[in-house]
Chain A
């Protein structure tokens, strides 16, 4: 069982105040720390658990700058056999371009695989589309929001997809396939600093993204803007019944109450 796991190094912006530079040209990430994309961490853990049981190996692949080596070392520390860096200094916003690049890389380097894991989304752009786009481009069966992998056989997997409101659906997907993994599928092991240091001894091969066909972008990011001003909590005022009615309205809008 060969599982390819795509893992991304992302800016940890949860606690930061972000500044847009110039006339909306860029977001200043110079003082922001970076970390592994949470979803990809779940992917690596899940893949390692599967090959531990079914045999095979996990290959971690990252598309990004040289610093992305960090997430490959982490994947290796968790149990991946290999780490490949497809190096590019460019930020690729378009999931299409990423998907094409991945397909180009896999084809040209003849990377064997049975299953490709991507995270449901990346914490930075939250596009949530690379897995699906890749599946479509490669003509492979696809399932996203995978919250549980119940069975792994030679020619298919049985997975549970997370739907809304706590509901799940069980689907059977033929192998080879692409799966987008949802956070919470497992409890990833902790990776210690010493573990990451040990992983540095395993070679991470570097490839240049420019060597692979990735096609022209289909979407264009023209400008960055701040969200509309929101200062503190919006206080709901009025009579008790009115206020409670408003609250129910908010719950309905958020889709958690009918």
Chain B
């Protein structure tokens, strides 16, 4: 029976939202959807797939690519080889997907952001999304990693909850073992390592307003950064400066508030995945580089987001 095996990403007891994209693509592929999860207490898409295989393994064992190889073998032995194995496009997903491809000699296509059923091909980004390649797997089960946000709208509730199968754990390898988690250090801020930057510019007006933006950053779990004028005035320390003469950043999200978009600033952040600009001037150059824009009073926007975030 043809099926798509969706390897769920579970980290610290959280069933990651990105799994919805794998489930969505699984639905598009039109085969039976079987979800593989480590056994644990969390919401795991029971109504979104046809079957769930709960493997008796600690999370750290499950997330180890070599152990995942052994688990996949067990699944194949029990259910036959799937047509597709879907992983999330994430730190662990990419790791296990590539390793499994090597282990089993299966084709692998990463960062899949589109699927054409008729043409039978997957879209994969090249040159940072400037062009896309249409890829086909030439045979056998194909391993895919699925870009976050690309397919979740196709994840649909099924009439009945999925059948749940328990699977015995595998003996964990000793050549790679998990030691511990390391939290982000809160003291020495390195803005180049932040996923989400809230950046403020001259438009915030005065040093008194900085605290309000610090609160917003806290509420959104973003790291606060700034453009040169803000640092020159010493409203923020130098380590927070984004720009040619400061730091070059490439976060997932760059939320710029009150920044006009001077060339030197843009040079320091233009490769961010998603740039959102808020400025009261509709003609501000930053809107040419942003993916999303809001023209408005930045303090009002700040306060409203804080309100909504708390609610």
Known pairs A127-B110, A222-B135, A233-B293 / 12 extra A-B pairs, C-beta < 8 Å: A96-B102, A126-B128, A132-B98, A132-B99, A135-B102, A141-B173, A164-B195, A184-B192, A219-B109, A219-B135, A247-B292, A248-B305
State whether A173 and B175 are in contact (beta carbons under 8 Å apart), knowing that A250-B274, A255-B17 are contacts in the complex: yes
Query: Interface stretch among A59-67, A192-200, A223-231?
Result: A223-231
Residues on A with C-beta less than 8 A from B194 are 166
Decide: A129 and B296 in contact? CB cutoff 8 A. Answer: no
Assembly CA distance A132 to B95 (angstroms): 6
Is B233 engaged at the interface, CB distance under 8 Å to the other chain? no
Chain B positions near chain A (C-beta within 8 angstroms): 11, 17-18, 65-66, 69, 90-92, 94-111, 121, 123, 125-140, 142, 148-149, 173-184, 192-196, 220-222, 252-253, 271, 273-274, 276-277, 287-296, 300-301, 304-305, 308-309
Q: How far is the CB of A22 from chain B (nearest CB, A)?
A: 13
- A132–B101 Cα gap in the complex (Å)? 8
Complex Cα distance, B300 from A240, in Å, reads: 8
Contacts of A258 in B (CB 8 A): 17
Interface flags, A119-148, vs B, CB<8A=1, else 0: 000011111111111111111011111000
Q: Are B276 and A13 in contact (CB under 8 A)?
A: no
Q: Is the interface of B mostly helix, strand, loop or mixed?
A: mixed
Instruction: Give the size category of A's interface with B.
Output: 35 or more
B residues near A167, Cβ cutoff 8 Å: 181-184
Residues of B within 8 A of A257 (CB): 196, 220-221, 309
Q: Does A169 contact B (CB under 8 A)?
A: yes
CA A201 to CA B309, docked complex, whole Å: 60
Say what secondary structure dominates the interface of chain A.
mixed
- Closest-by-CB residue of A relative to B139 is A218
Most A Cβ at <10 Å: residue of B11, B149, B294 = B294
Q: Which of A71-79, A108-116, A154-162, A203-211 contacts B (4 or more CB under 8 A)?
A: A154-162
Contact among A160, A235, A256 with B182 in the assembled complex (CB-CB below 8 Å): A160
